[in-house]
A = this chain, B = another copy of it.
Amino acid sequence: MAEKKHTPIASLGQFAFVDRLCAPFAPLNPSTVKGCGDDAAVIDAGDKYMLFTTDLLLEGVQFDLTYFPLQHLGYKAVVAGISDILAMNGTPRQVTLALGISSRFSVETVEQLYEGVRYACRDYKVDLAGGDMSASVNGLTIAVSAVGEVAKDKIVYRSGAQVNDLICVTGALGGAYMGLHLLEREKRALDGHPNPHPKFEGYEYLLGRQLRPSARLDIIEELAKIDLVPTSMIDITDGLASEVLHLCKDSDKGARIYLNRLPIAQQTNKMAEELHSDPVVAALNGGDDFELLFTVPLARQEDIFALGIDVIGHITAAGSGVALVTPDDQLIPVQAPGWVVRGDEPASGEDESPADAQ
């Protein structure tokens, strides 16, 4: 008998692998408008589309409870869920939580998590529509699902970008990733200290980006007010590089991103300097920013500027590649960061990988 093949997932890349897994599934139901391969599933509900998405947050990968307050984690779980609905130009309406909890967790700790969920539900006007709970062998697992809706003529996919469209990004990038590094640094510095007092003064912005992120419901509402429907959109949860590649692949286009137009906050630059790292790498490959990346026709440039949204580049023809343009007009191809698969044993040397933040 032939030896069983054991191909590492990293050799294919996460996204290519998911595409391959989903490929054999031909839709059987006419209500399935869009299945795998966008931020949320799109379901025909008669006079509108329903949107539907599930995210998994695992202890030791997406969060470390050494420094992540449970209240903030509950808030962030909701933000992660509804951000995928916003990325389809949808309005989030409901979320559900399913928790896996080990005996380390008490009634009080789970209540803290739900308090954060409640704050987020209030801030984004969504309803908690289900709260399941199961025992877990190892730590805390959170599955957060979100449901939203969108008018059929307002839905935005990843695939609609056109040549010469402007590439727009909300907020600033790389802050959540630098916040994570700050937290990891203080954790290492204070490890074993009986009464730890981490030093966070002057870095409140970075901490907030990592521990209390925002979903950009405000932007979706602003765009609706001026009747601007992006041609394509995605939320930035895995870093700008990965998301630009998704938009270009699904739209079958290329892109030019101007390096000196990347929106990076002052504290992100300062922290990068302290760590002797490049803030551009944080913006390109750092996770958890929950900003929106979208494209609009060139004719809407003034509208975008009026909203204070940054234009970082433009869409180019199919086959032209996705590249960063340096201030001296050099082109650097944009590459997707690798898929970091964790072992069942703690792996060493992965601390500095941006994929840890995702």
Contacts and interface: CB of A to CB of B under 8 A. Distances in A.
Interface of A: 4-9, 11-12, 14, 17-18, 21-22, 24-25, 27-29, 31-32, 34-36, 40-41, 43, 45-48, 50, 52-56, 58-62, 93-94, 96, 98-108, 110-111, 114, 118, 121-122, 125-139, 141, 143, 145, 147, 149, 339-344, 346-347, 355, 358
This chain: copies in complex: 2
A117 to B, nearest CB: 8
Top 3 A-B pairs, shortest CB-CB distance: A41-B129, A143-B143, A60-B137
Contact of A29 (B41, B46, B125): B125
A60 B6 CA distance: 22
A341 B135 contact: yes
B94 A43 contact: yes
B100 A133 contact: no
B129 A43 contact: yes
Contacts of A7: 106-108
B27 A98 contact: no
B136 A58 contact: yes
A108 B7 CA distance: 7
Main secondary structure of the interface of A (DSSP, over half): mixed
Nearest to A12: B107
A52 B147 contact: yes
Nearest to A33: B129
A107 B56 contact: no
B54 A9 contact: no
A173 B284 CA distance: 54
Contact of A138 (B12, B60, B96, B130): B60
Contact of A46 (B47, B104, B110): B47
A40 B130 contact: yes
Contacts of A34: 129
B127 A32 contact: yes
B147 A43 contact: yes
A141 B121 CA distance: 26
Given A54-B54, A101-B9, A127-B35, A136 B342 contact: yes
A53 B9 contact: no
Nearest to A109: B6
A111 B60 CA distance: 25
